[in-house]
Amino acid sequence: MFDLHTHSILSDGVLLPGELARRCEAMAFRGLVITDHVDSSNIDFVIPRLAKICKELTVTMNIKVKAGAELTHIRPQKLPRLVKLARELGAEIVLVHGETIVEPVMPGTNHAGIEAGADIITHPGLITEEDARLAGQRGVRLEISGRKGHCFTNGHVALMAKKGGAALIFGSDSHSPEDLLDRPSAEKVAMGAGLGPQEVEKLFQENELLFNGLRR
């Protein structure tokens, strides 16, 4: 299992990065990306700190841990600069907090995040077929979310991804221990979004590919 979307106490999670990694290690995860929420107010110290601790954890644990970032509630016009800055500061995987229907995310965030070259648009809500097609062309993944509330539109996201040719990944969006999902539980979420057995397998292959910096 590779979880590409998790949060620690460096944003709004309840676990220290080390405990988050240990819990995932105990669940036999192979890879973990810690993607704390950032914007202009905290990006310059959260990402470097995560990058440092993730390298230390990977050396001492039986799980690979990478530093990421979730650019959250950013004005769409600011996303290109912040995506670039996140990478420069050490984020190995950059997420843009998509237009979930349970938060007042600015319209146009999905499109701007795709154009800015984020790796993943998380919980992209009622994403349009046009933006899903653009994501497919740009190699930007769309998330099937394990998070309460954000998961409400998983079925729509899966349908738009299929129509637009975009790749899907799974993210738990965990903020606390009970949010972490093992592979069987995550597979049930994916099946609940309308994905068939082969599509579910491809979903988790995409997680591994992206974690390892590979693209189809």
| CATH number, position 118 | 3.20.20.140
Q: Is 216 helix (H, G, I), strand (E, B) or coil?
A: coil
The pLDDT assigned to 194 comes to 98
- Tokens 């929420």, residue located: 37
The answer to whether position 52 is within a domain reads yes
- What distance in Å separates the CA atoms of residue 215 and residue 212, rounded to the nearest whole number? 9
- The answer to whether 65 and 58 have CB atoms below 8 angstroms apart is yes
Q: Which residues contact 5 (CB under 8 A, 6 or more apart)?
A: 33, 35, 68, 70, 95, 120, 122, 143, 145, 171, 172, 173, 174
Average of per-residue pLDDT across 180-208: 98
Q: Which residues contact 119 (CB under 8 A, 6 or more apart)?
A: 93, 94, 95, 140, 141, 210
The amino acid occupying position 30 is R
Residue 183 pLDDT exceeds 70: yes
The answer to whether position 20 is within a domain reads yes
The answer to whether position 145 is within a domain reads yes
The answer to whether position 127 is within a domain reads yes
Count CB atoms within 10 A of the CB of residue 99: 25
The pLDDT assigned to 215 comes to 57
| Alpha carbon separation from 139 to 102, 169, 216 (Å, rounded) | 26, 12, 9
Question: For residue 29, which of 201, 180, 215 has the smallest C-alpha distance?
Answer: 180
* % the chain with pLDDT above 70: 99
Which residue range(s) make up the domain with 178? 2-211
Q: Which two three-digit tokens encode residue 168?
A: 């899907």
The answer to whether position 216 is within a domain reads no
pLDDT digit string, tens, across residues 27-63 = 999 999 999 999 999 999 999 999 999 999 999 999 9
- The answer to whether 180 and 155 have CB atoms below 8 angstroms apart is no
Domain count, the chain: 1
The terminus-to-terminus CA distance of the chain in angstroms comes to: 19
Q: Considering Cα of 58, then 119, then 113, then 106, what sign does the dihedral take?
A: negative
The pLDDT assigned to 53 comes to 98
- What distance in Å separates the CA atoms of residue 44 and residue 65, rounded to the nearest whole number? 20
Average of per-residue pLDDT across 158-181: 98
The answer to whether position 142 is within a domain reads yes
The answer to whether position 141 is within a domain reads yes
- The answer to whether 164 and 2 have CB atoms below 8 angstroms apart is no
